[in-house]
Amino acid sequence: MKTLEILTPEDKQGIDLPRLLEDEQNALGKKKLYIESYGCQMNFSDSEIVASIMREKGFATTSSINEADLVLLNTCAIRDNAEQKVRNRLSTFTSLKRRKPDTMIGVLGCMAERLKAKLLEEEKVVDMVVGPDAYRDLPRLLDEVETGQKAVNVFLSKEETYADIAPVRLNSNGVTAFISIMRGCDNMCSFCVVPFTRGRERSRDAYSVVQEAQDLFAQGYREVTLLGQNVDSYKWASEDGTEQVNFAGLLEKVALVSPELRVRFSTSHPKDITDEVLYTMKKYDNVCNYIHLPAQSGNSRVLKIMNRTYDREWYINRVDAIRRILGNDCGISQDMIAGFCTETEEEHRDTLTLMDYVKYDYGYMFAYSERPGTPAAKKFVDDIPEDVKKRRLNEIIALQQQHSLERNQQAIGKVHKVLVEGTSKRSTEHLQGRNDQNKVVVFPKHNFTKGQYVNVLVTDCTAATLLGEPVL
Ligand code: SAM
Ligand code: SF4
């Protein structure tokens, strides 16, 4: 059984089903949209934009696929198994279509963008294929489908940020929410399909981000996560050019919304994370002490052919800066890829020694999966046998388990400020929330409720969870 921190994003999120929003629950007579999201947090955030666009078109969301008029899968293309998961799901829709032939089925997101109209040929059950920058066109595409045609829009934009669209919060706990601050990616890591499926990097108007954070706070939310593929390269300028905001500046603006609103962000790129960002984190108590800093490998030659544009020493320098400015308590998590093209055993061991150096709190770890059309697929041979990739991956996962446990043990005996997200999954007598470092903390309920901050003395832990008692 895998523990939480070593589940892949797909494992964690792919089977999450949306829940009805209260104001839509009684939307009798309205047409119904069922939307399922796969992959990264950005896709989950995009689904909320899609729900908002479709609401304008007269659709209410439903958690029951059987009552849906429109079924949308918001897909991921990052690894082959992410695409297989979607194809398996689509294969189950044949019987749905047979029972309810009017049900319309759309594929959104990165897989739609990668495969384009080919997806319509390969998956006959699909009516509509829509890329990540074409969601405003959904109502028109739907009209086409309603006349019996198939519809495709996979146009990638250099400007689209959906800044003016107020997301409909799906599957929400009412306490934590995502805010997308930028789209696309310009980095061209050689293994990665994202620059091809999500297009060029663009940053959203800083004031629309702050406004969204203010609105969420007014609605009772107490934590926002600012999302982008590389948040440290966030860059926005006002139209007249008099004001320029970088990521540190944006973080500060959102932190100032309220000291009661926690701010998190993801993902940081090691080549771009600045000391200015670290000092901003230090300056504001409500900016959480946690950084997701994907390494991908601990070996400089492998990093070079991955085109990560930093080497092992640079990465270590950034970790040292985090420890110097934010201290040993700052949570750090990683992404690692095992078995990238030409990786030797010795180079794999460099990944393990980097992990020993950093002592990450969590990790998201993957075996290399070649993606068609990427620079790595064009330039290199995917030459590490699957069993070797798997063994290296297992070594990385086992080491991470050990480090997660060690890091969690360091939390024992200390009081942590926990934002309550809801009832514990294992016991109705317990609540669960997260501490500053993004660790899940479980404690007895007493009279505390969702959305409250509670000081909890941690008394025990597993590799995945801290357990404690509220300080009354
Ligand atoms: N933008 C983020 C960054 O630079 O780290 C991450 C984006 S990607 C959605 C999430 C993770 O998937 C990457 O950090 C990488 O570890 C993994 N990944 C991407 N392409 C992959 C591939 N072809 N095979 C295996 N893992 C991959
Ligand atoms: Fe992919 Fe690299 Fe961009 Fe991350 S930074 S999305 S890994 S190309």
- Residues 141, 117: contact at Cβ < 8 Å? no
How deeply is 98 buried, as exposed, middle or buried, from its count of CB atoms within 10 A (0-12, 13-18, 19+)?
Answer: exposed
What does the block give as tokens for 462? Answer: 């597993």
Rounded to whole angstroms, the Cα distance separating 255 from 268 reads 18
| DSSP 8-state symbol, 148 | T
pLDDT tens track, the chain, 472 positions:
333 333 333 343 333 333 445 445 445 568 999 999 999 999 999 999 999 999 999 999 999 999 999 999 999 999 999 999 999 999 999 999 999 999 999 999 999 999 999 999 999 999 999 999 999 999 999 999 999 999 999 999 999 999 999 999 998 999 999 999 999 999 999 999 999 999 999 999 999 999 999 999 999 999 999 999 999 999 999 999 999 999 999 999 999 999 999 999 999 999 999 999 999 999 999 999 999 999 999 999 999 999 999 999 999 999 999 999 999 999 999 999 999 999 999 999 999 999 999 999 999 999 999 999 999 999 999 999 999 999 999 999 999 999 999 999 999 999 999 999 999 999 999 999 999 999 999 999 999 999 999 999 999 999 999 999 999 8
Rounded to whole angstroms, the Cα distance separating 297 from 311 reads 9
CA atoms within 13 A on the CB side of 30: 18
As beta bridge partners, residue 362 has: 333
What's the Cα-to-Cα distance from 216 to each of 211, 253, 258, 261, 436, rounded to whole Å? 9, 15, 11, 9, 19
Residue 248 CA to ligand 2 center (angstroms) comes to 20
Minimum CA distance residue for ligand 1 atom 25: 368
In this structure, the residues whose C-beta lies within 6 A of any atom of ligand 2 are 185, 187-189, 192, 194-195, 229-230, 269
Rounded to whole angstroms, the Cα distance separating 133 from 114 reads 13
Q: Which atom of ligand 2 is nearest to the CA of 267?
A: 4
For the Cβ of 196 lying below 6 angstroms from any atom of ligand 1, the answer is no
pLDDT, position 79: 97
Q: Which atom of ligand 1 is nearest to the CA of 364?
A: 16
Place of tokens 């620079």: 375
pLDDT, position 27: 55
Q: Does 267 sit behind a cis peptide bond, omega within 30 degrees of 0 on the bond before it?
A: yes
- Residues 322, 330: contact at Cβ < 8 Å? yes
**Residue 353 CB contacts under 8 Å (≥ 6 apart), including other chains:** 298
Q: Which ligand is nearest to the CA of 365?
A: 1
Rounded to whole angstroms, the Cα distance separating 100 from 168 reads 27
- Tell me the best of 12, 193, 308, 337 to mutate to test the pocket of ligand 1, counting ligand atoms within 8 Å of each CB and taking the most: 337
What does the block give as tokens for 424? Answer: 């514990």
Residue 43 CA to ligand 2 center (angstroms) comes to 15
Minimum CA distance residue for ligand 1 atom 5: 294
What does the block give as tokens for 215? Answer: 């609105």
Residue 417 CA to ligand 2 center (angstroms) comes to 33
**Residue 268 CB contacts under 8 Å (≥ 6 apart), including other chains:** 230, 231, 232, 277, 291, 292, 293
What's the Cα-to-Cα distance from 189 to each of 192, 252, 377, 405, rounded to whole Å? 6, 29, 12, 31
Phi and psi dihedrals of 161, rounded to 5?
-130, 0
Instruction: With residue 431 as reference, give the H or E element that holds it.
Output: strand 430-434
Three-state secondary structure of 228-291: CCCHHHCEEECCCCCCEEEHHHHHHHHHCCCCCCEEEEECCCCCCCCHHHHHHHHHCCCECCEE
pLDDT, position 28: 55
pTM beyond 0.85:
yes
Minimum CA distance residue for ligand 1 atom 19: 192
What does the block give as tokens for 26? Answer: 């009684």
pLDDT, position 374: 98
pLDDT, position 30: 84
**Terminal-to-terminal C-alpha distance of the chain:** 35
Residue 229 CA to ligand 2 center (angstroms) comes to 6
Start-end of H helices in 267-385:
275-283, 300-305, 312-326, 345-358, 375-379
159-165 — which CB contacts under 8 Å span 24+ positions? 159/202, 160/133, 160/136, 160/202, 161/202, 161/203, 161/204, 161/205, 162/49, 162/135, 162/136, 163/204, 163/205, 163/208, 164/208, 165/49, 165/52, 165/53
CA–chain centroid gap for 183, Å, is 13
For the Cβ of 465 lying below 6 angstroms from any atom of ligand 1, the answer is no
Rounded to whole angstroms, the Cα distance separating 265 from 274 reads 14
Residue 176, classed as helix, strand or coil, is strand
- Residues 185, 229: contact at Cβ < 8 Å? yes
Rounded to whole angstroms, the Cα distance separating 269 from 291 reads 10
- Residues 352, 339: contact at Cβ < 8 Å? no
pLDDT, position 23: 46
Q: Which atom of ligand 1 is nearest to the CA of 367?
A: 25
Place of tokens 């800083």: 206
pLDDT, position 24: 52
Residue 324 CA to ligand 2 center (angstroms) comes to 27
Q: Which ligand is nearest to the CA of 269?
A: 1
